[in-house]
């Protein structure tokens, strides 16, 4: 008949075997069954801005009683005007920002605020409307404010 010592030794060995088996690594999931991670969509426009207007633009504008002048604008945000920077050259030589207002059909509207430049007259505000033209990479531009109207065509700046 086995002694009490032998019985306890056997029980202890059995318990250690159960613990050792339970301490093993967890089984890993089969990765072939997992869905692929979401992929970012290339060049998604910022929410609220149509893809056709997002980017860097330049052109020449025309305004009554002023020589034609250059414009350069970056349109990248529907929520942060400070990221939509506009620069006017020529006699105007001013810059500022565009605040996104709305999109209606093919027209996108911004509120322009001019607050920087070499001239003491670099202050003002108005509304800008841009519209994608049939030719890719071109926008019709119109500014109205302070009794002034400017018009022109912007072309996408190629890097």
pLDDT class for 46, splitting at 50, 70, 90?
Answer: low
Q: How does pLDDT run across 59-89, given as a tens digit for each residue? A: 999 999 889 999 999 999 999 999 999 999 9
* Euclidean distance between CA atoms 149 and 50, whole angstroms: 24
* Euclidean distance between CA atoms 148 and 150, whole angstroms: 7
**pLDDT recorded at residue 33:** 62
Tell me what the pLDDT averaged over the chain comes to. Answer: 81
Q: Any bridge partners for residue 154, and if so which?
A: 59, 139
**pLDDT recorded at residue 16:** 42
**pLDDT recorded at residue 122:** 80
**pLDDT recorded at residue 90:** 81
Strand 138-145 versus strand 148-156 pairing type? antiparallel
Of the chain, the percentage scoring pLDDT greater than 90 comes to 55
* Euclidean distance between CA atoms 49 and 102, whole angstroms: 9
Give domain limits for the chain. Answer: 57-156
**pLDDT recorded at residue 18:** 43
Alpha helix segments (H runs only) across 23-154? none
Q: Any bridge partners for residue 143, and if so which?
A: 128, 150
31-40 burial, b at 16+ Cβ within 10 Å, e below that, comes to eeeeeeeeee
**pLDDT recorded at residue 76:** 95
pLDDT above 70: residue 112: yes
* Long-range Cβ pairs for the range 64-71 (8 Å, 24+): 64/148, 64/149, 66/90, 66/91, 66/92, 67/91, 71/141, 71/152, 71/154
Q: Which residues contact 1 (CB under 8 A, 6 or more apart)?
A: none
Of 11-25, 29-43, 77-91, 105-119, the one with minimum mean pLDDT is 11-25
């Amino acid at each position: 008949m086995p002694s009490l010592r032998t019985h306890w030794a056997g029980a202890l060995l059995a318990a250690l075997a159960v613990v050792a088996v339970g301490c093993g690594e967890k089984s890993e999931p089969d990765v072939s069954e997992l869905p692929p991670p979401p992929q970012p969509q290339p060049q998604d426009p910022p929410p609220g801005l149509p893809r056709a207007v997002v980017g860097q633009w330049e052109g020449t504008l025309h305004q009554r009683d002023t020589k034609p002048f250059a414009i350069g604008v970056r349109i990248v945000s529907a929520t942060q005007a400070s990221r939509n920077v506009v620069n006017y050259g020529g006699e105007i030589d001013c810059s500022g920002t565009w605040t996104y207002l709305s999109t209606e059909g093919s027209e996108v509207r911004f509120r322009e605020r001019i607050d920087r430049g070499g001239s003491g007259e670099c202050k003002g505000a108005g509304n800008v409307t841009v519209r994608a033209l049939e030719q890719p990479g071109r926008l019709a531009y119109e500014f109205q404010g302070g009794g002034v109207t400017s018009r022109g065509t912007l072309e996408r700046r190629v890097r």
